[in-house]
Structure formats: C-alpha cells, structure tokens
Amino acid sequence: MENQFNEEFIELINNRYEEKYIDYLNKLPNNSLSEKMIKLLQEQDLTERLSKWNDFTLKLGEIKNLKYLSNPFYIGFGNPNAEILFLGKEKAFDIANSPDIFLHESINNNKHWEAIIKKNNRYDSVFNPLFPQLYHKEKNNHKIKARDTWGMYSQIVKGITENDTITSSSDNLDDNFFNHCFTTEVNHIPSKYSLHLKSQEDRKKLLQEPFYKRFKYVIIGAIGSINIDDIKNIFGSDLQIETIEIGENKRRKIEIKILKNETQKIILCNQLSGAAGWTTDAIKNLITEIKK
C-alpha cells in the first residue's frame, strides 16, 4: 500500500458524506427507525458505535424496513490508488442475518475511511475497508471460491496486471487482490439475492465524484441496474461504445459493452458471479478485451 492516497480520494472523504447520510435518513418516511439510526451515527467513536449497534433493538415490524437505512454514500473497499475499479450490483448479504456486516460494510464505511486518513493510512479496528476479506475470514473462516464474485475479481485483477503473485487467499495485503483494485456497488441496498434495483439518484451523484473517474479500467458487472446514459453521466459523454461477444454458455451468448475515451476503458457486463453463467473462456476473453 502506498503511503499517500490520491488527491481525488482525499477530496471525496472531505466532502462529509456521513452528514449527507444523516440528511438522507431525515427524509425517510419511517421516522422512528430513522431517528434510531441517526442517534447511532452521531456517535463518533467507532468502538462506542459498535457497542451501541450491538444493543440496537427493533420492533418486529421494523425489520423489513431496515434495508432502507442502508448508506447510499458508502465509498467502497480496497486500494484507492489502484488502476482497476469494480462496480457490482449490490452487496450480497441478508441484513437481518448479518447485522455486523451491515454495520461495517454499509453504515460505517465513510467513518472508517476518515479514521484511516487521520491515522496516516494505518488502521487497527475490527473492520478494515482496505482489506475487508480479512474480517470475513477471521469471523467466519470464509474462504473465497473461484466462482464467487471476489474470486472472479481476483482472477481478472491477476490477468490485467499480469502479476502471478496476486491471490484471493493471502492474509498479506500486499499479495491480495484487494491491494490492486477498488470495489463498490451500483446499488446501496444489500440483498442476499439480487433485487434488480436501479441505481438510486443519491448513489449516482456519489459515483460522479472525480475519484471514480481516475481509474484506468472500470468493470461494471451490473447489466439491468445501470444503463448507458447513467454510465455517460457518471464517467463522461465522450465515451465510444461497441458490443463484443466473448463466449457462450448453455443458455446464451455472453456479450459485453466496451465504452472508452482517452483515459478510461469501461466494461459493462453481467454480474460477475458463477450464477450469472460465466465460463472460464469468457473470463479469459474478458481480460483480453480489457487489456487491448
């Protein structure tokens, strides 16, 4: 990890998106639930916030609405100085069954990055957005499979960088794929199974920040959740577009859209997971097209 984050990322963190998160919660119709979340966010100490979250109580009827308190301004995970950005559909977990992940991966994301910058890029908290995989491994002994989304990200990063030491299994951040890419999502509402939601306006505004325009390669695995006009609004209207067939499975042909200008190559494709029908050859061809 480099010692200093890029200027665009520092600017993004300094734009006080956690305050905008509170403003967003104030506008939601379920006032009592929003008020509980706002009180949580007003706690600035992350250790105390975790303790309060563990004591967070809900009425039975409120559980189904908890997802609407998700943070539309969460920034993402990985290395902000990398050249590769992955944009997925949404975080794949169920909030009711994984409240700790909801706190760490959604609610606290902005505050985690603020803390890292204040500590000169060092972080010793329970969850580290530079290396989120470590939390899942230590808590649940989770191992990334090749057909998981993170497993496919790792394969693509390794192929683009042509760095054979990159892996999804290393506990050493230097060798882990998270040190060579940055990841975020089109949608801010987590779901174990895709809700096929369109990207929300507050989310689109965040993605229009200059930080997201600095990546050389952008892979958007979210067909159906974001369209070409959205991509042009986020990354620039000067993008040239072509459609390429990179393989086929038993059900259909596998196609990608390539959008590029002088500084970026953007790939729009199906969700990067085994369930989306990706084949080994299609992933190899995807990497080839990205590197051209």
Stronger pLDDT, 219 or 99, i.e. the higher one? 219
User: In terms of DSSP H, where are the helices of the chain?
Assistant: 7-13, 17-26, 31-41, 46-54, 99-102, 109-118, 133-140, 149-161, 201-207, 228-235, 280-291
Q: Indicate whether 2 pLDDT > 60.
A: no
Place of tokens 């990985």: 78
The pLDDT score that the predictor gives to residue 162 is 95
Residue for token digits 């002994």? Answer: 141
Residues in the chain: 292
Residue 85 pLDDT > 60:
yes
CB atoms within 10 A of CB 58: 15
With a cut of 70, say whether residue 192 has pLDDT above it.
no
Give the per-residue pLDDT at 194: 53
Q: What average pLDDT does range 232-249 have in this prediction? A: 93
Q: Tell me the mean pLDDT in the region 267-282.
A: 92
Tens-place pLDDT, residues 21-64: 999 999 988 678 899 999 999 999 999 999 999 998 887 777 78
Share of the chain above pLDDT 70, in %: 94
pLDDT of residue 125: 73
Domains of the chain, by residue range, sit at 7-291
Q: Is the pTM of the predicted complex or chain greater than 0.75?
A: yes
CA distances from 111 to 11, 35, 157, 246 (A): 14, 19, 27, 40
- The whole-number pLDDT of residue 98 equals 84
Greater model confidence, 200 or 193: 200
Q: How confident is the model over 111-149, as pLDDT tens digits?
A: 999 999 987 666 667 899 999 998 888 777 677 888 889
